[in-house]
A and B are shown apart, each in its own frame.
Chain A
Amino acid sequence: MADPNTKFLVVDDFSTMRRIVRNLLKELGYSNVEEAEDGVDGLAKLRAGNFDFVVSDWNMPNMDGLTMLQTIRADPALAKLPVLMVTAEAKKENIIAAAQAGANGYVVKPFTAATLDEKLVKIFEKLEKAGG
């Protein structure tokens, strides 16, 4: 497991889904979690606070998750943030678009705690390899 103080931002327009992801993260040992309700809110929070990891939905009002991801990658201050997409969008072109935009992982809803854990572990391993 990575640093338990890793600061997560969960971006989803449904409060129940934010609560579920927050609880799952807590169960996995990460209790430093904040929430945002769409891409605009997410970017504002990312720019204001030192976040280490973003878990984002795709389909949200104001700014969707893909646009937020693209904005993160285009912003030098945020570009290296790991972003895990957790979304109901299940078309192949969605998955390809997210990968091309620089997503670190892609989880389709409905998902299990084990899937989320597996993806997080994989992303942290890759980051460690890239860092070391």
Chain B
Amino acid sequence: MESPFSESTGSIAGAVPVSQEACEQSEMLARVGQMTRNLHDNLRELGLDKVLEKASIDMPDVRDRLNYVARMTEQAAQRVLNATDTAIPLQERIDAGAGEVLKGWKNTFNAPFSEAGYRDMATLTMQCLVDMQHDSNATKQQLLDIMMAQDFQDLTGQVIRKVTDLAHNLESQLVQFLIDYAPSEVKRETDNSLINGPQINPEGKSDVVADQGQVDDLLDSLGF
């Protein structure tokens, strides 16, 4: 007779904690649900859901745009360097030709008069002028190509303006978010690295130099 009783007591005793646990769990889930809801509402209130959605679309776009800028500027640099590589030897040939003709005429003037000498010099001069005409035309083509290579500035300028607008928008939204939610003390991380790249805006910064003169002055002052 005892065993069914004790069994039933046991089952009742065991059932109580189980239902308590289930109760706590559902309460916790409800809390998490509520928090998620609050967070979602807050983000929506701040317009951050849209911002985040936009950022996830904009960021790959920015990357593509900056890649485009890198590609265009590199192409332009290569094009200009190719043009100067072609044009410099042409100019050197013009210079050498002029030197040769000049020297030839000086010798002809200094030597006793000979019609054959003048004739040879006239032929040489004419040939040289033909070469010079050809070389200076070819140089002009290279100069025009250098000019045309500058078209990247217009294209990259537009792209860069779009990227800076976008960065500015994101920045102001993030700053607003920080203002709303920042802890009272914000740690500022200072950048002490030696690899910073070109100084975009050296004016008013005491730890950077703005030109070669300042580099030289600094080294002089240190005795190097």
Contact = CB atoms under 8 A, between A and B. Distances in A.
A59 B198 CA distance: 10
Contacts of B208: 90-92
Contact of B207 (A23, A59, A66, A93): A93
Nearest to B74: A16
B197 interface: yes
A108 B78 contact: no
Interface in B70-100: 74, 77-78, 81, 84-85, 88
Interface stretch (B128-136, B154-162, B214-222): B214-222
Contacts of A88: 197-199
Interface residues of A, number: 25
B196 A92 contact: no
Interface residues of B, number: 25
A64 B157 CA distance: 30
Contact of B222 (A23, A64, A90, A99): A99
A19 B222 contact: no
A91 B202 CA distance: 9
Contacts of B21: none
A109 B198 contact: yes
Contacts of B202: 90
Task: Report which residue of B202, B211, B215 has the largest number of chain A beta carbons within 10 angstroms of its beta carbon.
Answer: B215
Nearest to B199: A90
Nearest to B198: A88
Nearest to A16: B77
Contact of A96 (B74, B78, B211, B222): B222
A43 interface: no
A107 B212 contact: yes
A66 B193 CA distance: 13
B224 interface: yes
The 6 closest A-B pairs by CB, nearest first: A16-B77, A88-B198, A99-B224, A90-B199, A19-B81, A90-B208
Interface of B: 74, 77-78, 81, 84-85, 88, 194-199, 202, 207-212, 215, 218-219, 222, 224
Interface of A: 16, 19-20, 23, 58-59, 64, 66, 88-97, 99, 106-109, 111, 115
10 contacts: A16-B74, A58-B194, A88-B198, A88-B199, A89-B194, A90-B209, A92-B218, A93-B207, A97-B194, A106-B219
